[in-house]
A and B are shown apart, each in its own frame.
Chain A
Amino acid sequence: MGDQGLREPTPKAVGEGSPEGSSLAIRLGGGTVTIDRKTVNQVARLARLDLSEDERTRFAEQLGRILEYCAKLDELDTSEVEPTSHVIAMTNVFRDDVVAPSLPRDAVLASAPAHESGFFKVPPVIETEPQP
């Protein structure tokens, strides 16, 4: 560590020839995680992204390489270290509870793709989400 400077990542692909196309096994926390088409499909569903076939193939390969690089963090022992979600030590920032002007409804709805009777308008919300 330390005096090695900042090295460029040298990703090594494994699991070539898998039926799902390119996949990559990443060592992490003593175990191994794999990025393949199935992972990409699952993540795309969580992220509400409709990806093309080409994007699924490309992201499986690129995310695998990026995450393998990120697994470098495993070299550091963080067992005694608290996580930082925010650099400024401030909690419960209060202000006086006073009424202040807010945006007029019409100004907000003016940006909406569709609205009706003062509400945002969307297509039917029913159980249409495809199951994994």
Chain B
Amino acid sequence: MIGHSATELLGQLRRLEITPSELVQAALERIDAVDGKVHAFLSVNRESAMSAAHEWDGRYSRGDTIPPLAGIPIALKDIICTAGTPTTCGSRILQGWVPPYDATVVTRLKAAGAIIVGKTNLDEFAMGSSTENSAFGPTRNPWDLDRVPGGSSGGSAAAVGAGMVPIALGTDTGGSIRQPAGFTGVVGLKPTYGRVSRYGLVAFASSLDQIGPLTRTVVDAALVLGIIAGHDPCDSTAANVPVPLYRDALDQGVQGMRIGLAREAFGDGLHEDVKDAVLKATHVLEGLGAMVEEISLPTLPYALPTYYLLATSEASSNLARYDGVQYGLRVAADDIYAMFTRTRRDGFGPEVKRRIMLGTYALSAGYYEGFFLKAQRVRTMIRRDFLRALSSVDLLAMPVSPTVAFRVGEKVEDPLQMYLADVYTIPVNLAGLPGISIPCGFGQGLPIGFQLIGKPFDESTLLRAAAAYEQATPWGKQHPPLGWT
């Protein structure tokens, strides 16, 4: 069962070739076999997963009406609230915290029959590009245990990449689904901002955060998106836009589709292996009938500084809530000011402190105009550039990351170098667009991701092109050398 897509497994379940119990058992055994090395999971819910599986066993064998993900084991990034099970955000400040409610995506996945086997590792509060910023130790790349899996959804990417679960949810504020998907050879979809409810997602940067799936195939990504997408009265930014039947669009191909290659995304800093693989991927789409043309996004080189001012400013405000009063860690002190500052000193790791400092600075009197407001104005220009480009083409194509997965420890001492890992994914969050990472080859034996970017709320076209590419190439069917049987 290991390594099959959820869609294949659902077929086997419906034909009664396997049972949900066997499937969940296989996932737990795979976790036992490889997660000692990979460390994708922060917690595993054996009992609750098995008892949920037994319920679905009965419903399958009785021939009951079965919801779309019934019996499928899934994993959730540990920044998505699950009632009754810890949600740590990879931070000491929330260690042991048990949310009193489920996130909307969790409610929807459970209703669809998915079985949550565990919560996955991440950079603390989703701040990072390597999963090395977790307070509970790094996750390793299943393709090379000396390399990072990317981040911040590195645990979710590694769990899917190593065949522990067919589906995991991640979150993407500046590339945190797409970049680890690219580094681990899986499919990662960041939906349009507003497509998926953020209710119960612990906030990092509220104008950029979005939940999405990491899967083995594009069909599975479409399946999951169809379940988690849509309006939610609990999140006023979850747009009231109809959710199409994503899977219906998948086999329509790319004949006549127009795809723009942004010239600015292929300049300095892009590794040759990645460049070659991404350009080859665009030729594959051309071969399938798409028309590829060069376009320009003049403000692309300004996206990274814009992001690091806006995301840190929003984070400094959102993370003000961790003060030792209502939940999480408290470091006792005689007065409340000392309690706040010592709780935050001991609870937050270095990258979170660095970003809170940067954001607090950018928002402080005297610098607000020059840094924060300036970045908000440049964000407008970046969004306009993207929308202008997308008025003449259907999709944009780009690398996901400038390099393949880097070594554990390689960038931890140099925050700016780490930030550059997200240079092609960040602009998509600033513009609020949907983006997908799909495997498109290997460099130095490590997976390379191909990024497609779509119009707002047009995930259908994105998934359609990604599915056509996936079917025409062998890359998504490769497995890392981790004891596959």
Contacts and interface: CB of A to CB of B under 8 A. Distances in A.
Contact of B380 (A11, A59, A82, A93): A82
B263 A3 contact: yes
Interface string A22-66: 000000110001000001101110111111100100010011011
Contacts of B335: 123-126, 128
Contacts of A49: 341, 344-345, 348, 353, 356-357
Given A5-B269, A49-B341, A70-B371, A122 B377 contact: no
B62 to A, nearest CB: 33
Given A4-B267, A9-B416, A47 B380 contact: no
Contact of B298 (A1, A6, A51, A129): A1
B425 interface: no
A125 B324 CA distance: 14
Given A6-B267, A6-B300, A87-B193, A46 B358 contact: no
B207 A47 contact: no
Interface stretch (B49-57, B71-79, B359-367, B459-467): B359-367
Contacts of B339: 122-123
A39 B367 CA distance: 12
Contacts of B362: 70
A3 B296 CA distance: 9
Nearest to A108: B100
Given A5-B269, A9-B416, A82-B380, A123 B334 contact: yes
Interface string A1-27: 111111111010000000000000000
Contacts of B304: 6, 69
Nearest to A103: B100
B406 to A, nearest CB: 14
A124 B237 CA distance: 38
B250 to A, nearest CB: 26
Interface string B423-457: 10000000110000000000000000000000010
B316 A88 contact: no
Contacts of A82: 377, 380
A89 to B, nearest CB: 10
A128 B269 CA distance: 50
Contacts of B375: 70, 73
B336 A125 contact: yes
Interface residues of B, number: 88
A34 to B, nearest CB: 11
A110 interface: yes
B316 A47 contact: yes
Contact of B377 (A43, A78, A108): A78
Given A72-B305, A84-B379, A87-B193, A66 B364 contact: no
B370 interface: yes
A113 B325 contact: yes
B479 interface: no
B106 to A, nearest CB: 16
A47 B194 contact: no
A95 to B, nearest CB: 5
Contacts of A73: 302, 305-306, 309, 374-375, 378
B336 A90 contact: no
A112 B345 contact: no
A108 B327 CA distance: 9
A99 interface: no
B327 A67 contact: no
Interface string B407-418: 000000001110
Given A88-B239, A113-B324, A5 B376 contact: no
From B97, B296, B332, B371, residue with most partner A Cβ within 10 Å: B371
B370 A29 contact: yes
Main secondary structure on B side of the interface with A: helix
Interface string B86-120: 00000000000110110000000000000000000
Given A47-B316, A84-B383, A113-B324, A7 B301 contact: yes
A101 to B, nearest CB: 11
Q: Interface of chain A, helix or strand or loop or mixed?
A: loop
Nearest to B346: A50
A7 B357 CA distance: 25
B325 A112 contact: yes
Contacts of A87: 193-194, 207, 383, 431-432, 456
A128 B340 CA distance: 12
A114 B330 contact: yes
Given A2-B264, A123-B334, A47 B360 contact: yes
Interface string A81-100: 11111111010010100000
B341 A93 contact: no
A7 B369 contact: no
Contacts of A124: 334-336
A11 B308 CA distance: 16
Contact of B432 (A29, A76, A88, A120): A88
A22 to B, nearest CB: 15
Contacts of B415: 62, 66
Cβ-closest 3 pairs across A and B: A5-B267, A87-B432, A83-B376
Given A2-B263, A3-B263, 19 more contacts: A4-B268, A5-B270, A5-B301, A6-B267, A6-B269, A7-B301, A8-B417, A47-B344, A62-B415, A65-B416, A82-B380, A87-B193, A88-B194, A108-B326, A110-B98, A112-B325, A123-B339, A125-B336, A128-B337
Interface of A: 1-9, 11, 28-29, 33, 39-40, 42-44, 46-52, 55, 59, 62-63, 65-67, 69-76, 78, 81-88, 90, 93, 95, 103, 107-108, 110-114, 120, 122-126, 128-130
